[in-house]
Amino acid sequence: MEIKHFEEQYLQSLNELLEEAFGVSMSGKLSKDDAQLIAVSNEKVIGHLLLHYCIDPIRNQKFYFVEYVCVRSAYQNQGIASKLFQYVFQLCQDKNISYLELTSNPSRVAAHHLYHKLGFQVRETTVFRKEIL
């Protein structure tokens, strides 16, 4: 298994994983400062996470917002998500990223366990959204 930045040759395999995990597929391009990481085994995408580059203008800090963290069901509980995050932590150090943020559905108990194990802390907040289009 290898952790790498997403390449177009893996699009179909990535979309299979995203469909399995979230019922979505990739349909757009990332900004140049975003990063999309995949775990690949035998030319098949088995893990994924997306990093959106952000700047907190009040504290003047760079951070990544993490989305679409997933591992194919047949490969779960093998440390793949942890390896993806270890890669992310090194990437953050290399790019002087101050912190990571993510949200997670309350039903994703195993994911929450992983996030706690990796040192993430729950913030007391509620996410609001207003659909415009």
Q: Are 51 and 88 in contact (CB under 8 A)?
A: yes
How many angstroms separate the CA atoms of 94 and 49, rounded? 18
Domain boundaries, the chain: 2-117
Query: In the prediction, which pLDDT does 118 show?
Result: 96
Q: Are 102 and 66 in contact (CB under 8 A)?
A: yes
Give φ, ψ of 5 to 5 degrees: -75, 145
| Predicted TM-score of the model (pTM) | 0.91
Query: In the prediction, which pLDDT does 1 show?
Result: 95
Give φ, ψ of 93 to 5 degrees: -65, -45
The CATH number of 2-117, from 3.90.950.10, 1.25.40.10, 3.30.70.3040, 3.40.630.30, is 3.40.630.30
The pLDDT tens digits along the chain (133 residues) read: 999 999 999 999 999 999 999 999 998 889 999 999 999 999 999 999 999 999 999 999 999 999 999 999 999 999 999 999 999 999 999 999 999 999 998 899 999 999 999 999 999 888 888 999 9
How many angstroms separate the CA atoms of 59 and 57, rounded? 6
